[in-house]
Structure 1
Amino acid sequence: MNFDIQNDPVVRIEAGRLRRALERYYLVVGGRDPILIEIPKGGYAPRFCRRVDHPGQAKLQLTSNQPEPVPLRPLLGSSRGEELLAFTANWLRCRWFAGVSIALMIGLGLLFVGISDLPIVSTIQKERIAVAGPSIIVRPFINLSGDPEGDVYAAGLSEEILAQLVHFKELTVFGRETSGAVPAGVSAPEIRRKFGNRFTLEGSVRMFDGRLRITSRVLDGATATVIWSDAYDADLRTSSIVDIEMSVASKVATAVAQPYGILFKQMASSRETRLPGSEAYQCSFRFYRYRTTLDAREHLPTRECLERMTTLYPDYATGWAMLAYLYLDEDRFDRNRRPGSPGPVERARKAAQTAVRLEPQNVRALQALMTVLFVLKDPAAALRVGDQALAINPNDTELLGEFGSRIAQAGEWKRGAALLEEAMARNPGHADYYVGILAFAAYMQNDDKRAVELIRGADLRRFPIYHLVAALIFARAGLHDEAENSRVRFLNLRPTFFDDFEGELDKRNFNTRDRVILFRAAALAGFPVKPHIADVKE
């Protein structure tokens, strides 16, 4: 038997899956495990180490403003886990191959248990409220090459796309048991009639001359039409199949499942969103429509819709996360403030904590908690939560944009701008809001030319605060007429803003250095800055 353990693609693929399964386990279930098992990149020999040797693996420290996470179902009892790890370590001292075999068995066990906890709809339904909205089945990709090796690539790609999609909590993803039960040649409407999913994702792989071509498309089961398709090419001689799978799956998942992506746009134009029982999805759609405009007229009906939805579906974490944003905007943007106690920020905090308590790995819930903590003037805790959310789903453009803006405001302008640019590149249809923040980031990094270019492309009508940013940018660039025009417009919209300029900057968590820059910039632009503020020194 000629089996090359170092070069056979099956080994590389399975090792990559095991490596990701271990990473997922320690992020979710094994967050407090004292012993870590690693499969280093470039090799297959497992490595055992204590958690104290890996400070980067430390569990997220919760502040007093954060809820305690709900304990997840443990993988093993503590004593059994310790015995298994000790047993494995002893065998590893004997033979490398035995260590690899045991690590593979442990990894497959972790993968099985981890997958059972993922929010995927399988043929056996979990006891959980099913909320109306986009739903999708990922059919196994087809190998068109005739080469048996292509079967491995097709299976791995299908699995990776499935794993990437489940991180988008607004989307219901059917599990591999369901997709495996779909006969070949069955149409999207037939699949829908049998399983109830709205969309079907399918694709193929083709190998030729050391290259791999992957095509993918999404069909609407309601209309039998192709609503999206794309093709990806990769060189098998220069890239590992695991890297190719992860890269392609990331692109597919981002295009298909992001909150402003093709599935949600298709659902928005569908008559199904107006049928009885679909109010939950109507609220989600209203929320994302409001987020693109921040229109005061959209705020109240969206808030009321989400309040009805969380009453009807109290276990729907994403609904609570959305509601937290609507409460925050009562305070941040003076949108339909509800009188009485508790106030909007306190209601937002409770809603975000409820969302995280229901689903500790829900990216939208963590994003809401991050934003609330930032508003509560705890930027360090907010950014830790943002880092956790980004680790769970780096493909979520809604999170990328929000997290990038918070990082920038906290003083890391370069890193924040990089995340914002990535969000814009992945989701150009939602770029209006990001452009103004990018312009501000360029200004704070002393790139006046880029700042001017960007602010001229920002939607100043929908986001009035950008008139202030524009005035600062134009004034320092010597564009005095444009600076004056922006200054007058902003003061007409926010006449009392500079009555407590220090308080306004304090609410936004600007550090000392950036405050000094903004005090002087506002004075240069002709805003009514109090003399003792304008003359402050670093």
Structure 2
Amino acid sequence: MALGRLLEWPEIARSPQLARFASYIVERTLDGEQQAIKAYSIAVDVFGRPADFDPQADPIVRVQARRLRALLHTYYQGAGASERVRIRLPVGRYVPDFDLVDTETLPAPPVVEEEPVPAPSRPRGSITLSWFALAVIALGTGALAFSLATWQPRQEALTLAAGAVQRPSLGVSEFQNLTGQGRGPLSVSGLAIELVTDLEAFDTMDVRYDGGPTPAAQPASPGGFALSGIARIDADMVQYSAILTDTRTSDIVWSDVISLPLARASEPLALDEVSRRLSLVLGSTRGPVHAQARQFLASGAPLTGNENAYLCRVAFDLYRDTGSAEAADRARTCFAAVPQSEGEKPVALAAAASLMAEMGEDSTATDRYRTAQADMARAIAGSPVSAFVWEQQARLFETLGAIVEAEAAFGSATQLNPASADALAGYARLLAFSGRLDDARSLAEQSINAAPSPPAWYFGVPALLALRDRDFSTAIADAEIYAAADRELGPVLAIMAAQEAGDSAIVNRYLPQVLEIASFRAAGVLPQLRKRISDAGLLGRIGATLAAAGVPPSSLNGRF
């Protein structure tokens, strides 16, 4: 059975939640219950969410669906390549499709033997085309065919690179006001200015105001976009519909609707809220404006010759998403290759300083920290109102163990750019590790619910909140996501939740990982975590849980 073989595949088998997810949606579909497959039913039946689960507030189903979708693609590209019936989870749906693929090799066509034809005699004095000449012609024809066949892909690759390395531009038009139906219209004028102001704070695109509700005509460019929209009343709600268009192709590449109750939409700060919520998506380098640059970087194409401050910034944010050494090296190499005039800009200085400080503990750490602090000071002096620079300053303080200073720097970052999801999520994590989970909750929810494709490191705070609230199935799910980005604390949180839930399989999966972490072996588990966590209560729970799981006291408190 296709489902059974999929569930036996190690990549699925090692994640019981994803296995249950796949079984649930396939079996209910086969039972003719497609209409019952909703985010709510999956959350309650598969992930153990309570009956008052709100799919809009908790993204667990969307996140796990994205993971399952990616694993299905990997499975049918490799271990499941011979499967005739393939399970596919379309984007935006939770009801699977079943594709029938003919994997049998077609029989070779019969060979028709022709009667030999006698070669004609060659008249005396005629010219013979030599075998060498025939070979040259054949090679030339082959080379021409190859060149023609590969010309278009090569041109497409060059076009992609040209657009990807170019800092995008965005023109913002005023939204059309359709709210005056039988009443005085609400004020919409000024939303475009709010958006321009908010998006400029990211310093990752060139933003301009294009005036009235009809976008101004702009010359097409590889990185050009136009943002427009409408505002209308639907029952007692005001709907602000935004549309992002690629000016080169005139294609709509993204759209979203922000809904506000009519009473709130009438308040003076309503447009500020709409702008901030749209900017959480459009300003992020994970959003649609920067999709081409991320696609270029994800392709593995060499950066040599294409390095500039914009592309290096996107590469840096990819490092932030994964925390991997490979992504860090790529971003570091990119910044090192940009012209000095760009490398000395505050954003580049701050990013390079973060990369330098986060290389880890070794014999050069003291000198690296000193250099990073000096470069960060130069970045702040050069751009004291850059939210990105202050966010990196906060992370540097965290690395140095200066928690009070880190909190102040995160406060500056979020005040300067309230739509920076990374700053909100980083601030939330700092507060959570300091024992202030209630203060962290709102910031974490904003970053996860509004940001496009929230990265794994956003899920540390939700895991801690679920642990505190004794929602252990949620804590396990969030900790498993978080473990992909935080190789120290993620597995520890998963073990804590699993111990409470009595799930020995999860404990057995992550405990060996904890005992193999180099930083833990060099300093001891608790001494290493104490550099990051100032909440004594949390550290005490971690120690007690790991001891109960079988970690020797000597390994908890010293080198092993």
* Pair in the same fold by TM > 0.5: yes
| Residue 299 in structure 1 maps to residue 322 in structure 2 | no
- Mapping for residues 148-159 of structure 1, pairs under 5 Å: 153-159=187-193
Single out whichever of 201-210 and 384-393 deviates more from structure 2. Answer: 201-210
2:244 corresponds in structure 1 to 218
1:344 match: 368
Encode CA deviations 1:481-519: one digit per residue, 9 max, x unaligned. Answer: 431332123223438537433431331142333333322
In structure 1, runs of 5+ residues without a counterpart are: 1-130
What is the aligned partner in structure 2 of residue 368 from structure 1?
392
Q: Give the match for residue 171 of structure 1.
A: 205
Distance 1:302 1:510, change over 3 A: same
C-alpha distance in structure 2 between counterparts of 1:232 and 1:444, whole Å: 32
| Aligned partners of 1:498 and 1:528 also within 8 Å | no
Is 1:483 paired with 2:507? yes
Change (3 A) 1:330 1:499: closer
Residue type at the aligned position of 1:423: S
Maintained 8 Å contact 1:407/1:416: yes
Instruction: Identify the match of residue 288 of structure 1 among 293, 296, 317.
Output: 317
Deviation at residue 160 of structure 1 after TM alignment: 2.0
Q: SS at the partner of 2:428?
A: helix
3-state secondary structure, aligned to 1:281: helix
Closer, same or farther in 2 for the Cα pair 1:476/1:357, shift >3 Å?
A: same
2:527 to 499, 503, 527: 503
The aligned residue for residue 243 of structure 1 is: 269
Secondary structure in structure 2 of the residue aligned to 1:530: helix
Is 1:135 the counterpart of 2:169? The answer is: yes
Match for 2:281: what amino acid?
A: A
Partner of 2:462: 438
Deviation at 1:149, TM superposition (A): 9.4
Measured after TM superposition, the shift of residue 379 of structure 1 is 0.7
Measured in 2, the distance between the counterparts of 1:322 and 1:391 equals 20
Q: Is the 8 A contact 2:174 2:190 kept in 1?
A: no
**1:57-456, aligned counterparts within 5 Å?**
132-144=166-178, 153-174=187-208, 176=209, 179-180=210-211, 184=214, 186-187=216-217, 190-192=218-220, 198-206=224-232, 212-237=238-263, 239-269=265-295, 279-309=308-338, 311-331=340-360, 340=364, 343-427=367-451, 429-443=453-467, 447-455=471-479
The share of aligned pairs that are identical, in percent, is: 19
Partner SS state of residue 426, structure 2: helix
Please report how far the alpha carbon of residue 208 of structure 1 lies from its aligned counterpart in structure 2 after TM superposition. Answer: 7.8
8 A Cα contact 1:310 1:319, kept in partner:
no
For 2:531 and 2:365, locate their aligned partners in 1 and report how far apart those are by CA, in whole Å: 21
Deviation at 1:283, TM superposition (A): 0.9
In structure 2, the partner of 1:92 is none
- Which residue type is aligned with residue 411 of structure 1? G
How far residue 365 of structure 1 moved from its aligned partner, in angstroms, is 0.6
Structure 2: distance between partners of 1:172 and 1:527: 53
Q: CA contact under 8 A between 2:307 and 2:334: conserved in structure 1? A: no
Q: 1:149 to 1:275 in 2, by over 3 A?
A: farther
Is the contact between residue 132 and residue 280 of structure 1 (CA under 8 Å) also seen in structure 2?
A: no
2:60 alignment counterpart? none
Give, in angstroms, the shift of residue 526 of structure 1. 1.4
Pair 1:458 & 2:484 matched? no
SS in structure 2 at match of 1:219: strand
Give the CA deviation at 1:285.
1.9
Cα offset, 1:263, TM superposition: 0.8
Contact 2:186/2:266 (8 A) holds in 1: no
Distance of aligned partners of 1:152 and 1:438 in 2 relative to their CA distance in 1, 3 Å threshold: closer
Distance 1:519 1:208, change over 3 A: closer
In structure 2, distance between residues paired with 1:493 and 1:517:
20
Listed as ranges, the gaps of 5+ residues in structure 2 are 1-164
Post-superposition CA distance 1:517-536 (Å, at most 9, x none): 322222112112239969xx
CA gap 1:407/1:247 in 2 versus in 1, 3 angstroms: same
1:274 is displaced (CA, Å) by: 7.5
What is the CA-CA distance between 1:446 and the residue it aligns to?
5.0
Instruction: State the secondary structure of the residue aligned to 2:244.
Output: strand
* Cα contact 1:213–1:233 (8 A) shared by 2: yes
Give the aligned residue type for 1:258: S
Q: Give the secondary-structure state (helix, strand or coil) at the position aligned to 1:524.
A: helix
Secondary structure of the corresponding residue to residue 489 of structure 1? helix
Please say which of residues 369-378 and 137-146 is displaced more in the overlay.
Answer: 137-146
CA distance in 1, matches of 2:283, 2:202: 7
Of 545, 548, 556, the match for 1:521: 545
SS of residue paired to 2:550 = coil
* Structure 1 counterpart of 2:130: none
How far 1:408 moved relative to its partner? 0.9
Q: Aligned partners of 2:452 and 2:371: how far apart in 1?
A: 32
RMSD of Structure 2 on Structure 1 (CA): 3.6
Shift of 1:398: 1.0
- Match in the other structure for 2:135: none
Query: Partners of 2:179 and 2:553 in 1: how far apart?
Result: 69
Cα distance change of structure 1 residues 484 and 384 upon mapping to structure 2, 3 Å threshold? same
Query: What amino acid is the match of 1:308?
Result: A
> Which residue number corresponds to residue 122 of structure 1?
none
Which has the larger displacement, 284-293 or 135-144? 135-144
Q: How far apart, CA to CA, are the structure 2 residues paired with 1:171 and 1:435?
A: 28
- Whole-Å separation in 1 of the counterparts to 2:377 and 2:183: 47
- In structure 1, distance between residues paired with 2:460 and 2:257: 33
The CA deviation at 1:404 is 1.0
270-279 vs 237-246, which moves further: 270-279
SS of 1:155's equivalent in the other structure is coil
Cα shift at 1:396: 1.0
TM-score, length of structure 1 as denominator length:
0.63
- Rounded to whole Å, the distance in 1 between the matches of 2:179 and 2:524 is 68
CA contact (8 A) 1:280 1:309 kept: yes
